[in-house]
Amino acid sequence: MTEHPQIRPLIDADTIAARVAELGAEITRDYAGKDLLVVGILSGSFVFMADLVRRIELPLRVDFMAVSSYGDGTKSSGVVRILKDLNREIHDRHVLLVEDIVDTGLTLHYLLDNLSTREPLSLGVCTLLDKREARIRDVPLNYVGFPCPDAFVVGYGLDAAGLHRNVPYIGVLEQDGASS
């Protein structure tokens, strides 16, 4: 494994793979017999979603949305912008949103409100990381990979100003010798 001295490991790749397999099995069970559309929230969820959909043993479709509330910073601005909307209709479909991390809940709350107006049959959420300590807005989470400390984490798709998405594990980004 390549060393990344500015990243303190938090969750190793094997642990992530095992939990993704468990999540895939849970989703397979819960959505059996349903027309499932899995929606990845770009860009952070792409690695997690790719692994997750390969573990869901059901026919499914995928789509993506891109939203922004961070820019290049490490704190949410609180202003959510849709940069890419869905390509598919979700009316009368079972929709599962896939997020990399839920922290303040502001972005997810906005997305759930927006998508619910499109009248899906169901609207669920699967997140790799739940940073509950940072929560400002309560949001429902149907599937959670791991709890996350209130620190800035990167790797496995999560980034800092576009960097570190390719790190195969999740770690805390150290800045100037201290975690942010």
The CA distance from 32 to 34, in Å, is 6
Q: Is 1 a member of any domain?
A: no
pLDDT digits (tens, 9 = 90+) for 21-70: 999 999 999 999 999 999 999 989 999 999 999 999 999 999 999 987 75
Q: Is 90 a member of any domain?
A: yes
pLDDT digits (tens, 9 = 90+) for 100-136: 999 999 999 999 999 999 999 999 999 999 999 999 9
Q: Is 2 a member of any domain?
A: no
SS3 call for 19: helix
CATH number of the domain where residue 73 is located: 3.40.50.2020
Q: Is 102 a member of any domain?
A: yes
What's the domain range around 163? 7-179
Q: Which residues are catalytic?
A: 103
Q: Is 71 a member of any domain?
A: yes
Q: How many domains, in total, are found in the chain?
A: 1
- 90 within 8 A of 124, measured Cβ to Cβ: no
